Structure 1
Amino acid sequence: MISYTIEEINAVLNGILVGSTSQKIEGPEELQKAKNHHITFIGSAKYEKYWADSEACAAIVNASITIEPGNNKAFIKVPNADLAMARILELFNPEPPILDFDIHPSAVVHTSATIGSNCKIGPHCYIGKDVVIGDNTILYPNVSIFDESTIGTNSIIWSGTVIRERCVIGNHCIFHTNVSIGADGFGYRPSDDGRGLVKIPQIGNVIIGHHVEIGANTCIDRAKFSSTLIGDGTKIDNLVQIGHNSILGRSCIIAGHSGISGSVTLGDGVIIGGASSVKDHVTIHSGATVGGKSGVISDVKSGQTVLGFPAQEARETLKQWAIIKRLAKK
Structure 2
Amino acid sequence: MKSLTIQEINTIINGAVLGETVHTITGLEQIKKANSNQATFIGNRKYAAMWADSKASLAIVNDTIDLEPGNNRVIIKVKNADLAMAKLLEVFAPPAPYFETDIHPTASIDASAAIGEGSRVGAGCYVGKDVVIGKGVILYPNVTIFDETTIGDHTTVWSGTVIRERSVIGSHCIFHINVSIGADGFGYRPSDDGRGLIKIPHIGNVVIGNQVEIGANSCVDRGKFSSTILGDGCKIDNLVQIAHNCILGRSCIMAGSSGLAGSVTLGDGVMIGGSASIKDHTTIHSGATVGAGSGVMNDVAAGKTVLGYPATDSREMLKQWVALRKLTR
Q: TM-score, with normalisation over the residues of structure 1?
A: 0.99
2:143 aligned with 1:113: no
- Report the counterpart of residue 301 of structure 1 in structure 2: 301
The CA deviation at 1:230 is 0.4
The CA deviation at 1:65 is 2.1
- Report the counterpart of residue 128 of structure 1 in structure 2: 128
**Structure 2 SS opposite 1:8:** helix
d(CA) in 2 for partners of 1:227, 1:19: 56
- Report the counterpart of residue 21 of structure 1 in structure 2: 21
Q: Retained in 2: the 8 A contact 1:5–1:22?
A: no
Q: Retained in 2: the 8 A contact 1:206–1:223?
A: yes
The CA deviation at 1:81 is 0.9
- Matched residue type, 1:8: E
Write out aligned runs for 1:239-250 (5 A): 239-250=239-250
Moved more, 28-37 or 270-279: 28-37
The CA deviation at 1:49 is 1.2
**Structure 1 SS opposite 2:153:** coil
The CA deviation at 1:83 is 1.0
- Matched residue type, 1:146: F
Deviations 1:104-154 (A, max 9, x none): 111100000011011100001000000000010000000000010111100
d(CA) in 1 for partners of 2:292, 2:113: 43
**Structure 2 SS opposite 1:83:** helix
- Matched residue type, 1:204: G
Write out aligned runs for 1:277-316 (5 A): 277-316=277-316
d(CA) in 2 for partners of 1:46, 1:150: 47
Count residues with an aligned counterpart: 329
Q: Retained in 2: the 8 A contact 1:297–1:311?
A: yes
Moved more, 192-201 or 40-49: 40-49
Which structure 2 segments of 5+ residues have no match?
A: none
- Matched residue type, 2:125: C
- Matched residue type, 2:29: E
- Report the counterpart of residue 216 of structure 1 in structure 2: 216
Moved more, 320-329 or 302-311: 320-329
Write out aligned runs for 1:66-77 (5 A): 66-77=66-77
Write out aligned runs for 1:268-283 (5 A): 268-283=268-283
d(CA) in 2 for partners of 1:48, 1:236: 31
Deviations 1:70-126 (A, max 9, x none): 111000011111111111111101111021111111110000001101110000100
- Matched residue type, 2:269: G
The CA deviation at 1:178 is 0.2
- Matched residue type, 1:70: G
**Structure 2 SS opposite 1:286:** coil
- Report the counterpart of residue 265 of structure 1 in structure 2: 265
d(CA) in 2 for partners of 1:271, 1:321: 22
- Matched residue type, 1:179: V
- Report the counterpart of residue 320 of structure 2 in structure 1: 320
The Cα RMSD (Å) is 0.7
Write out aligned runs for 1:120-159 (5 A): 120-159=120-159
Write out aligned runs for 1:167-246 (5 A): 167-246=167-246
Q: Retained in 2: the 8 A contact 1:251–1:268?
A: yes
d(CA) in 2 for partners of 1:220, 1:258: 12
- Report the counterpart of residue 40 of structure 2 in structure 1: 40
Which structure 1 segments of 5+ residues have no match?
A: none
Q: Retained in 2: the 8 A contact 1:222–1:244?
A: yes
Write out aligned runs for 1:74-85 (5 A): 74-85=74-85
The CA deviation at 1:67 is 2.3
**Structure 1 SS opposite 2:23:** coil
**Structure 1 SS opposite 2:325:** helix
The CA deviation at 1:163 is 0.3
The CA deviation at 1:18 is 0.3
**Structure 2 SS opposite 1:96:** coil
- Report the counterpart of residue 256 of structure 2 in structure 1: 256
The CA deviation at 1:33 is 0.9
d(CA) in 1 for partners of 2:245, 2:324: 39
d(CA) in 1 for partners of 2:7, 2:102: 40
d(CA) in 2 for partners of 1:8, 1:154: 29
The CA deviation at 1:20 is 1.0
